[in-house]
Amino acid sequence: MSEQDKRGNRAYGFETRMIHAGTQPEPVTGARQTPIFQNTSYVFHDADHAASLFNLQTFGFIYSRLTNPTVAALEERLANLEGGRGGTCCASGHAAQILAFFALMEPGDRFICSTRLYGGSITQFGKTFKKFDWQADFVDVDDIDAVRRAVTPKTKAIFVESLANPGGVVSDIEALAAVAHDAAIPLIVDNTMATPYLCRPFEWGADLVVHSTTKFLSGNGTSVGGAVIDSGRFDWAAAGRFPGLAAPEPAYHGLNFQETFGDMAFTMQAHAVGLRDLGATMAPMNAFQTLLGTETLSLRMERHCSNAKAVAEYLEGHPQVAWVSCAALPSSRYYKLAQKYLPSGAGSVFTIGLKGGYAAGVKMVESCELLSHLANIGDVRSLILHPASTTHRQLTEAQQAAAGAGPEVVRLSIGLETVDDIIADLDQALAAAGKA
Amino acid sequence: MASPLTYSNAELLAILRATRTIAMVGASPKWNRPSYFAMKYLQEKGYRVIPVNPGHAGKEILGETVYASLSDIPDRFDMVDIFRNSEAAGPITDEAIALAKEKGIKVVWMQIGVINEAAAERARAAGLTVVMNRCPKIEFGRLHAELSWGGFNSGIISAKRRRVQL
**CA-to-CA separations, A427 to A367, A424, A432, in angstroms, rounded:** 10, 5, 9
Chain B positions with Cβ closer than 8 Å to A = 1-2, 4-11, 31-34, 36-37, 40-41, 44, 112-113, 135, 138, 141, 145-164
Task: Please check whether residue A284 touches B, CB under 8 A.
Answer: no
Distance CA A433, CA A277 (A): 49
B110-114: long-range pairs with CB below 8 Å, 24+? B110/B82, B110/B86, B110/B134, B111/B34, B111/B38, B111/B81, B111/B82, B111/B83, B111/B135, B112/A262, B112/B138, B113/A262, B113/B86, B114/B82, B114/B83, B114/B84, B114/B85, B114/B86, B114/B89
Closest residue of chain B to A32, computed from CA coordinates? B159
Interface contact flag, A57 B41, Cβ < 8 Å: yes
Q: How far is A331 from chain B (nearest CA, A)?
A: 39
pLDDT reading at A3 higher than 80: no
What residues does A136 pair with on adjacent strands? A111
**Taking residues B85-95, what's their average pLDDT?**
97
Distance CA A63, CA B102 (A): 47
For residue range A302-325, list pLDDT tens digits in order: 999 999 999 999 999 999 999 999
pLDDT reading at A240 higher than 90: no
Phi, psi of A11 (to 5 degrees): -90, 95
Task: Please check whether residue A13 touches B, CB under 8 A.
Answer: no
**Taking residues A245-267, what's their average pLDDT?**
91
**Taking residues A413-436, what's their average pLDDT?**
96
Q: Minimal CA–CA distance to B139: which of B19, B43, B16, B18?
A: B16
Residues with Cβ within 8 Å of B112's Cβ and at least 6 positions away in sequence, in order, are A262, B133, B134, B135, B138
Task: Please check whether residue A75 touches B, CB under 8 A.
Answer: yes
Q: Minimal CA–CA distance to A136: which of A117, A145, A144?
A: A117
Other Cβ atoms closer than 10 A to A244: 20
pLDDT at A230: 98
Q: Minimal CA–CA distance to A167: which of A398, A362, A381, A329?
A: A329
Q: What is the largest CA-CA distance in chain A?
A: 74
Distance CA B30, CA B23 (A): 18
A235-239: long-range pairs with CB below 8 Å, 24+? A235/B1, A236/A265, A236/A266, A238/A184, A239/A184, A239/A185
Closest residue of chain A to B158, computed from CA coordinates? A24
State the ipTM, two decimals. 0.91
pLDDT at A1: 38
Interface contact flag, B8 A271, Cβ < 8 Å: no
Partner residue facing B40 (CB), from A32, A57, A59:
A57
Distance CA B147, CA A268 (A): 11
**CA-to-CA separations, B114 to B53, B70, B109, in angstroms, rounded:** 17, 18, 9
DSSP A249: B
pLDDT reading at B5 higher than 60: no
For residue range A183-216, list pLDDT tens digits in order: 999 999 999 999 999 999 999 999 999 999 999 9
3-state secondary structure of A303: helix
Q: Regarding beta strands A110-114 and A155-161, do their DSSP bridges make them parallel or antiparallel, or are they unpaired? A: parallel
Residue A339: which H helix or E strand, with range? helix A335-341
**Taking residues A217-222, what's their average pLDDT?**
94
Interface contact flag, A86 B138, Cβ < 8 Å: no
**Taking residues B5-23, what's their average pLDDT?**
91
Flag the least confident range among A253-257, A344-348, B98-102, B142-146: A253-257
For residue range A14-43, list pLDDT tens digits in order: 999 999 999 999 999 999 999 999 999 999
pLDDT at A253: 83
pLDDT reading at A6 higher than 80: no
Q: Minimal CA–CA distance to A433: which of A412, A404, A410?
A: A410
**Taking residues A295-300, what's their average pLDDT?**
98
Flag the least confident range among A89-103, A177-191, A247-261, B59-73: A247-261
DSSP E strand stretches across A97-195: 110-114, 135-139, 155-161, 163-164, 169-170, 187-190
**Taking residues B118-140, what's their average pLDDT?**
96
Domains in chain B (CATH in brackets) are: 9-147 (3.40.50.720)
Domains in chain A (CATH in brackets) are: 17-293 (3.40.640.10), 297-434 (3.90.1150.10)
**Taking residues B62-77, what's their average pLDDT?**
98
Other Cβ atoms closer than 10 A to B55: 9
Helices and strands in chain B, H and E counts: 5, 7
Rg (CA), chain B: 16
pLDDT at B1: 34
For residue range A267-282, list pLDDT tens digits in order: 999 999 999 999 999 9
Type of residue at A159: F
Partner residue facing B151 (CB), from A20, A233, A271:
A271
pLDDT at B32: 83
Task: State percent of chain A over pLDDT 90.
Answer: 86
Q: How far is A235 from chain B (nearest CA, A)?
A: 6
pLDDT at B165: 66
Q: Which residues of A touch B31 (CB under 8 A)?
A: 55, 253
Task: State percent of chain A over pLDDT 70.
Answer: 98
Task: Please check whether residue A30 touches B, CB under 8 A.
Answer: yes
pLDDT at A4: 58
pLDDT reading at A394 higher than 90: no
Q: Minimal CA–CA distance to B109: which of B127, B91, B85, B83?
A: B83
pLDDT band at A2 (very low <50, low <70, confident <90, very high): very low
Q: Minimal CA–CA distance to B48: which of B19, B8, B6?
A: B19
Contact A345, A198 (CB under 8 A): yes
pLDDT reading at A129 higher than 90: yes
Residue A119 burial (CB < 10 Å; 0-12/13-18/19+)?
Answer: buried
